[in-house]
Amino acid sequence: MNWGDRDFMAPGRSLAVGDRGMAATSHPQATLAAVEMLRAGGNAVDAAIAAVALQGVIDPHMTGIGGDCFAIYAPANGKPVAINGSGRAPAKAELGWFLAQGLTSIAEESPHAVTVPGAVDAWCKLAADHGTKSLDEILAPAIRAAEDGFVVTPRAGLDWARYAGRIETHRTGIAAYLPGGKAPATGDRLNHPALARTLRRIAREGRAAFYDGEVAVEIVAALKGLGGLMELDDLASASADYVEPIGADYRGHRLWECPPNGQGVAALLIARLLEGFDMSDTGLSEADRIHLLAEATKAAYRQRDALVADPAFKPLDVETLLSDASIAAMRSGIDRKRASAPEAFDMPVHRDTVYVAVADRDGNVVSFINSIFAAFGSGIYAPRSGVLLQNRGAGFRLIEGHPNAIAPRKRPFHTIIPGLLAKNGKPAMALGVMGGQYQSTGHMQILTGLLDRGLDIQQASNEPRSFAFDGELKLETTIAPAVAEDLAARGHRITWADEPLGGCQIVYVDHTRGVMYGASDHRKDGIALAA
């Protein structure tokens, strides 16, 4: 790649360029924490965890130690390693119990929506096995922000105000997250001493500080006080798992994703489907590109919704699903001029996540994503420990025979997916596109811009976005009305997005030239910086 020639009068951010490491996150302070870790001699794993942990303090509506994570670590000259840091349902979470209560779904604010947080165990395992710094060093930026305070940035302030009602539901988090009874505005300063104490304990004692002892006791008490089924043994038995990444080829590259229970396989399906079309054809209109992506998305998501679940309960033959025969059958249903029938979606919509992309000076790459699911998760807060609990369990179905029916110690379907692109066996790019259900489509919207249209990674991020989901084709308002009219004429039900679609962060390593590039989405507060 030899990027950099661009029209500086055009809207959008500049491409970050360097040769000693690169980081991209959705918050400037998190990017700086990652870069400072790289400059202090840490590797990509150390830097990614430092950034994610800090965002759990300064972007608390998006992520935190009460949530889950997935990551792909790719050594410069080795095989990618994936880790599943998603938590499980309590051992007492029998489907029959829920049905006996007359429940038909799990409310997002319910204690039953809280699965065991898996992030802390994954952080500790990754740092011990692949990092070079101590937890004390890695968590220092997060501890400092929680103790000394941080300033609220514009996009964080907007989301904080929009979703403050989640904190008001259970009220125990009002003092920490709504000081004075209202959401902090851009420029307001906050600290979180209770969370700082827990982070210090994790830095000192490792995973035991979270999953055993006082923190675990408070979490269980908070949930049981609301009628939850979580027990101390559910937390004590939490374990992140190393898993084999799954992959598919696209335009001479290999796209790696985490396997189910995440939706990464949907991104691979879209890649395989689109590879059968010449997306580099200059004769394709913007409407043509949006239409093909929409139809590939619908085909892939039909498979996703029917098949993706915790593989310990419902294994998925990914190789067969991605085979030439399977893809040819799915691709045959795509009409270049007519939209296929829309389908309804029966799971909660998820929008709130942080994603971190890092490469170090040796060319090791980390793609890392962390989330508490909905904004402010369940809103259930353990005040002495400063732990805000996720609500990922809202994705379970209370339907006998459903692939995502709740069951003891089962992981729910997950939307958060880190992506990694390889070229000639070497890690070339870490990418993530925060935005819940959109993420699989988002990965391919970026890749087709990069590999089919010759855009650099920042230009690919800047492009207007679209998403075919739940019976609608949603368009960002930067797309021209004439394009929307063309798509409507093909049978798509068009709606205009009321907020940005996703938030992209990318790091690209050009091993031939020894150069690294970074891109950060203008839809978020973040930035890409070279070390």
Strands 503-510 and 494-496: unpaired
Residue 10 clears pLDDT 50, i.e. is over it: no
Q: Which of 25, 353, 441, 448 is catalytic?
A: 353
Average pLDDT over residues 88-115: 97
pLDDT tens track for 413-439 = 998 999 999 999 999 999 999 887 899
Task: Assign 3-class secondary structure to 42-79.
Answer: CCHHHHHHHHHHHHHHHCCCCCCCCCEEEEEEECCCCC
The confidence band for 8, taking pLDDT boundaries of 50, 70 and 90, is: very low
Average pLDDT over residues 384-394: 97
Segment 469-484 mean pLDDT? 95
Does residue 7 register a pLDDT over 50? no
Q: Which residue has the tokens 């796209």?
A: 255
Q: Is 172 a catalytic residue?
A: no
Predicted confidence (pLDDT) per residue in 298-329, tens digit: 999 999 999 999 999 999 999 999 999 999 99
The mean pLDDT of 272-299, rounded to a whole number, is: 96
SS (H, E, C) 138-160: HCHHHHHHHHHCEECCHHHHHHH
- Give the pLDDT of residue 329: 96
Distance between CA atoms of 54 and 29, rounded to whole angstroms?
A: 8
Burial (CB count <10 Å: 0-12, 13-18, 19+), residue 265:
buried
